[in-house]
Amino acid sequence: MHNDVNATVEDNTGKLWFGTRGYACIYDGKTFKVVTHKDGKPFANVRSIIKDRKGNIWLGGYDGLWRYDGSTFTNFTRNFVGYIYEDKEGNILTSSESADKKSWVLSRYAEKSLSNGYPTVTEIANKPMIFGILEDDKRNIWFGSPDGVSAYNGKTITDFKGK
């Protein structure tokens, strides 16, 4: 296991998941096991891991965005993913590299479409880089970038620049 740990989460069975700059690992209380894709390749440079309200584990990093439902891994994008967040409606939000790899995109994967294999993805913002994602009590989505902090109210983005 790599010592540079980026993310941790406990699954519904009590196992601990670690995302590192090396590989993702699971600790069962006795041993560490490297987590692999369905093709046997380890998940590399995992930056974010969350457990959604249904108990699914989401991994984001070098290998893109993946969901583990307890038995199967499903891939949603191969673009590098930095952050993953589940909003109050069960939508999954990510910050990831854009397709042209020249910027970063804040995307929302609609909860109602996640189980059919063809998720509805909405690109909310495009910035040089996107750090962190959070939803406030009014359902505004907040995120950071090198330009400052921004809020998305469902229709428009408001940028707040530092002074």
pLDDT tens per residue, range 104-134: 999 999 999 998 778 999 999 999 999 999 9
Do the beta carbons of residue 34 and residue 63 sit within 8 Å? no
Q: What per-residue confidence (pLDDT) applies to 48?
A: 97
Q: How confident is the model at residue 2 (pLDDT cuts 50, 70, 90)?
A: low
Reduced to 3 states, what is the DSSP secondary structure of residue 36? Answer: strand
pTM: 0.93
More confident residue, 42 or 162: 42
How many angstroms separate the CA atoms of 20 and 44, rounded? 8
Cβ neighbourhood burial of 118 (10 Å; 0-12, 13-18, 19+): exposed
Q: What per-residue confidence (pLDDT) applies to 115?
A: 85
Sheet holding 57-61, edge to edge: 46-51, 57-61, 64-68, 73-77
Compute the C-alpha angle 155/160/163, nearest 5°: 170
Contacts of 92 (CB under 8 A, 6+ apart): 52, 58, 65, 84, 85, 86, 108, 109, 111, 114
Question: Got the DSSP string for 65-117?
Answer: EEEE-SS-EEEEE-S-EEEEEE-TTS-EEEEEE-TTSSSEEEEEE-GGGTTSS
